[in-house]
Amino acid sequence: MTRKGLAKKIAALTVASAMAVTAMPFNVFAYGETDVSTSTFKEDTDNSEAFKTWKANVWEGGEAQYADSGKIALTPGKTEKDLNFAWYSVTKGTPAIQVWKDGAKGQAKVYKGTAASITAENWQGSAYGAANKVSIEGYFDDNTAYVYQYTDNYTGDTTVWSAEYSYKKNSSESFSVILTGDPQVGASGSSSDEVASDASVARDTYNWNLTMTQALKTCPDAAFLLSAGDQIDKSGATSDNNKKTRESEYAGYLYPSVFRSLPIASTIGNHDMAGVDYSNHFNNPNSEDGLGATEAGSDYYFSYGNVLFISLNSNNRNQEEHRALLKKAVESNSDATWKVVIFHSDIYGSGQPHADTDAATNRIIFAPLMDEFDIDLCLTGHDHTYSRSYQILDGNVIDYDISSGFVTDPEGTLYVSTGSGSGSKYYNLLNYTPYYIADRTNACLPAFSTIDFFENALTIKTYDYTGAKYADDFTINKTSELISVDEAIEKADEILSGSDIKSYTEESVSKLTTARDTLKTLKESYTTAPDLMIAEITTKYNTPDDRIKGYGSITNSEDKDVLVSGSTANRLKAGESTLIDKTIYTQIKGGEVIANAVFPIVDASTLEAAKKQVLAAIDGLEKPAEEVVNPSDNNSQGNTENTAPQTGDAANVWIFAALMTFAAAVLAATLRKKEENCEE
């Protein structure tokens, strides 16, 4: 639901939220706020005849899909002309992909890859000895249909190839992607995870497949899937039983047939991070530096058309490593129109139990990076609820009028937290609405989003697994006149400190100085003071002195926020982090909503007006008017303007010569007079 006048809205929500703590739940947003304990989604699935038939005949039946953890997965390559592949095989050989343009199999090309030895098995008895990866670069053209096959062991003409699969490469100038989060296959609950017929994996796989099938109906030309983490549920990977459960869950995650043609750009969730199976199942590009790594894998990036996509592993809290990856990614495509980051932690979300606890800890590390690298769109999961933020910069809401469902040339980053892709698990929303939230819902249905990218706009739309709307659409527009506050200040500083500044009039320089100083003062008024927790979290990450554990949890009780009840909340107490103080403790105290609180909100119209004054002052810089020589003026010392007549104008040449002779005579007489005066 888009709204105008954020300050009024926040005041209303503060009152409503305070009432909601002791009274009934309130519905502020169009798509509803649900008490998840009332959801019957799990039971509805189990009682569905369609589910029962699929489970008996397909999942566990003759096709025995639950036994196949080795399905091939496509992933984006480094650019839109590239494509990567990964799959498991029983034995290790020379993996290869054979690909051709549809209808031209005689021109097929073979690309060989690499195989790594693994030991992996699932509860259904399948065992694998190799993880295969192939990367194809520079082959795929826009608006072209392809067919591919793969093999575990390429032997030339005697190669045994798989069945044929299609891959359609649509336009990369304007394109769409699908966004999901937290399918977390296996999380819906069963009596035991360590059996072949695990009910939770079957149930979640069934609904995950329905979501992805509908997503392709809604967005048939999708270039790829962005998956915001927690592909599977089993978070541990220390025991053989845990590893077998994880592989059974990957059989469910990779089950949808759309994934034989739709690449997956996934990120590492806290449930994925423990094992090497994630990096074995996916062949992510530009990950060779291992920046932001945990056991599962690391940060990576790729470009597609005019969009730069960056995936960060938010399980790693070393900010410097993520900064290095972001810098490398941005330098790889400095002309990208759009910069999109995806990671798992919902640093500006709205769901329990993460949004104002462990996700807030990760906010300290990741939010400043979004500001530093001017990220347009940040996509996250972990929340198991859907939310969309206002434009956020340095913890501030930049309050644009978004009542028409769009914003143009905005400051800050738009944050989106996905709901559940499979319906395996839902969370309640926070019992207050964070000041930075523009739209939220937890309607307890599997959901997905589509993002349409154009040259000068992007639009995000969100649906449930039936194709019905699940949240409001929202668009960001960019124009050729886009320049940020920081860029305006930097441009003004460069001019005012430059060697040419003395060539401009004092009045025009004064106007620029005043406009620049006004904009700087405005920026300083909403800039967060240096946050010392960034350095502590980064340097102590993964050491015995780390005050943070797990996925952003606070290690020591004395570091936690004390609630009115006397218990503690899993977040840093006030005074530890300036960003947490600004984004949480201006709204709640002791876990209770602060009445008449003042939030970090910047009026966008005031900010834009100040920025425009700087740009206008730059355009208005003037140089002093040049004096034109009057030959009859005895005090004239010459003229830099070229007043000589053009060649061929004889009359003017004679006049010009006469005037110059007269001027020389006057000058000579003047000099003689001065000499006489000196002799006297």
Q: What is the pLDDT of residues 237-260, one digit of tens each?
A: 999 999 999 999 999 999 999 999
pLDDT at 630: 57
Q: How many CB atoms lie within 10 A of CB 451?
A: 23
Residue 37 is classified by DSSP as G
Residue 270 DSSP SS3: coil
What share of the chain in percent tops pLDDT 70?
88
Residues in CB range of 141: below 8 A, 6 or more apart: 81, 169
Of how many residues is the chain composed? 680
pLDDT at 56: 96
Q: pLDDT, tens digit, for every residue of 444-469?
A: 999 999 999 999 999 999 999 999 99
Return mean pLDDT, the chain: 90
Domain tally, the chain: 1
Task: Note down the domain range covering 660.
Answer: 636-680
Q: What distances in angstroms separate CA 340 from CA 228, 278, 413, 454, 573, one per listed residue?
A: 12, 22, 10, 14, 31
What are the φ and ψ backbone dihedral angles of 486, each rounded to 5 degrees?
-60, -40
Q: pLDDT, tens digit, for every residue of 313-348?
A: 999 999 999 999 999 999 999 999 999 999 999 999
Look at residues 234, 232, 264, 279 and name the one whose alpha carbon lies nearest to residue 118.
Answer: 279
Amino acid sitting at position 386: Y
Is 662 inside any structural domain? yes
> How far apart are the C-alpha atoms of 375 and 387, rounded to whole Å?
18
**512: pLDDT strictly greater than 70:** yes
**656: pLDDT strictly greater than 50:** no
Is 654 inside any structural domain? yes
pLDDT at 20: 27
> How far apart are the C-alpha atoms of 391 and 435, rounded to whole Å?
11
Is 658 inside any structural domain? yes
Is 609 inside any structural domain? no
pLDDT at 32: 82
> How far apart are the C-alpha atoms of 517 and 8, rounded to whole Å?
30
Q: pLDDT, tens digit, for every residue of 622-647?
A: 999 874 445 555 444 444 343 333 33
Q: Which residue has the tokens 């309640």?
A: 428
Q: Which residue has the tokens 């019957």?
A: 40
Write down the pTM of the prediction: 0.88
**439: pLDDT strictly greater than 60:** yes
Is 659 inside any structural domain? yes
Q: How many CB atoms lie within 10 A of CB 548?
A: 23
> How far apart are the C-alpha atoms of 71 and 102, rounded to whole Å?
23
H/E stretch holding 244 reads helix 240-253
Please indicate whether residue 272 or residue 29 has the higher confidence score (pLDDT).
272
Confidence of residue 582 (pLDDT cuts 50, 70, 90): very high
Check: CB of residue 179 under 8 Å from CB of residue 449: yes
What are the φ and ψ backbone dihedral angles of 19, each rounded to 5 degrees?
-70, -35
Q: How many CB atoms lie within 10 A of CB 469?
A: 12
Q: Which residue has the tokens 């929340």?
A: 383
Please indicate whether residue 677 or residue 296 has the higher confidence score (pLDDT).
296
Token code pair at residue 350: 């709205």
What are the φ and ψ backbone dihedral angles of 679, each rounded to 5 degrees?
-70, -35
pLDDT at 171: 95
> How far apart are the C-alpha atoms of 623 and 211, rounded to whole Å?
64
Peptide bond into 353 cis (omega under 30): yes
What are the φ and ψ backbone dihedral angles of 242, each rounded to 5 degrees?
-60, -45
Is 660 inside any structural domain? yes
Q: What distances in angstroms separate CA 74 from CA 213, 234, 264, 303, 344, one per listed residue?
A: 17, 23, 6, 16, 20
Look at residues 184, 295, 296 and name the one whose alpha carbon lies nearest to residue 245.
Answer: 184
Check: CB of residue 340 under 8 Å from CB of residue 308: yes
Distance of CA 566 to the CA centre of its chain: 38
**648: pLDDT strictly greater than 50:** no
Q: What distances in angstroms separate CA 475 from CA 67, 168, 390, 456, 679, one per listed residue?
A: 42, 27, 12, 10, 84
Token code pair at residue 96: 């290869």
Region of residue 261 (phi > 0: left; psi between -120 and 50: alpha; otherwise: beta): alpha
Is 676 inside any structural domain? yes
pLDDT at 175: 98
Is 650 inside any structural domain? yes
> How far apart are the C-alpha atoms of 47 and 42, rounded to whole Å?
9
Residues in CB range of 22: below 8 A, 6 or more apart: none
Q: Checking DSSP bridges between strand 469-477 and strand 548-549, what pairing results, if any?
A: unpaired
**8: pLDDT strictly greater than 90:** no
**611: pLDDT strictly greater than 90:** yes
Check: CB of residue 419 under 8 Å from CB of residue 487: no
> How far apart are the C-alpha atoms of 92 and 129, rounded to whole Å?
6
**63: pLDDT strictly greater than 90:** no
